[in-house]
Amino acid sequence: MIIKTFQTPIEAEHYAADLISAQVRAKPNSVMGWATGGTMLGVYKALCGMDLSFKDIRAFNLDEYIGLPPDHPQSYHFYMRQHLFDHIDISPDRCHLPVGIGDTAIEISRYQDLLRTYGPIDLQLLGIGQNGHIGFNEPGADLDGLTRKTALSPITIRANSRYFGTAETVPNEAITMGIGTIMTARKIVLLGCGASKADAVAAMIQQSVTPDCPASVLQRHDDITVVLDKAAAASLSLEKQRA
């Protein structure tokens, strides 16, 4: 695990964007894994400002809320169009996300089949939840799991209510790529910023691997870069902060 700590979120976001652009330049037909959430906004803004072609890229997103149609402003479909896809030359038919409406079981198998067909992912971008979730793999998730339906934990619903206005309007279920699939990505870049992530980041890096902190499984990946701002790194040992 490579750990890079920066003074400010903007430096961390730019570093993560540079790792992504290096991947796209080195392999223009890479299979990318995109993440959502507030943490990624600066990364996508930086990518949109680069002289970089995504026309041969195929991409998979980690997750989608069950019950939100793709045109819902809080859906991850909408987020990706708003913050990335509408600003780069990526081809919409190569951008895959789970669809949150319709028959969930059919959708899960459609998405897993796509991942099987086009995977493994070359570079997976990840955020981290305050409870150590990755994608929507909440504490207790199967560390070898594939695409599945998941119930959101109260802490995740509370954290994500800032995007919805109220906790009551946050869907309580999602479809998420499983940890087993995430772990098959050739490279992983995890970005964590802000004090609210400090405990989850420390558990991910310094505790033993446990489903109680799904991100801890990333200790077993052999090509992962964890990119942090100072606030998110604050609960790490000094030695790890300097790594």
Residues that bind ligand GLP (CB under 6 A): 35-39, 62-63, 127-129, 135-136, 156, 160
In the complex with ligand GLP, which residue's Cβ is closer, 106 or 195? 195
Query: Among candidates 143, 144, 150, which has minimal Cα distance to 212?
Result: 143
Of 61, 131, 137, 160, the active-site residue reads 131
- Judged by beta carbon, residue 93 or residue 166, the one nearer ligand GLP is 166
131 is catalytic: yes
> Which position among 13, 107, 138, 229 bears the catalytic label?
138
Q: Quick check: is 221 catalytic?
A: no
Nearest residue (beta carbon) to ligand GLP:
127
Is 14 a residue of the active site? Answer: no
Cis peptide bond upstream of 120, omega within 30: yes
CA dihedral 212, 216, 218, 221 (to 10 degrees): -110
Q: Which of 61, 122, 133, 137 is catalytic?
A: 133
User: Least distance (Å) from ligand GLP to the CB of residue 35?
Assistant: 5
CB of 28 to ligand GLP, least distance (A): 26
Q: Between 31 and 232, whose beta carbon lies closer to ligand GLP? A: 232
What's the count of helices (H) and strands (E) in the chain, helices before strands? 8, 10
Q: Is 172 a catalytic residue?
A: no
Q: Is 26 or 145 the residue whose CB approaches ligand GLP more closely?
A: 145
Beta carbons of 100 and 75 less than 8 angstroms apart: yes
Residue 79's Cβ-count burial label (10 Å; 0-12, 13-18, 19+) is: buried
Report, in Å, the least distance between residue 190 CB and ligand GLP. 9
What is the DSSP secondary structure assignment for residue 93, as one 8-state letter?
G
Give CA–CA dist 16/46, Å, rounded.
Answer: 9
Q: Are 56 and 22 in contact (CB under 8 A)?
A: no
Q: How far is the CB of 192 from ligand GLP (least distance, A)?
A: 8
Among all residues, which ones are annotated catalytic?
Answer: 63, 131, 133, 138
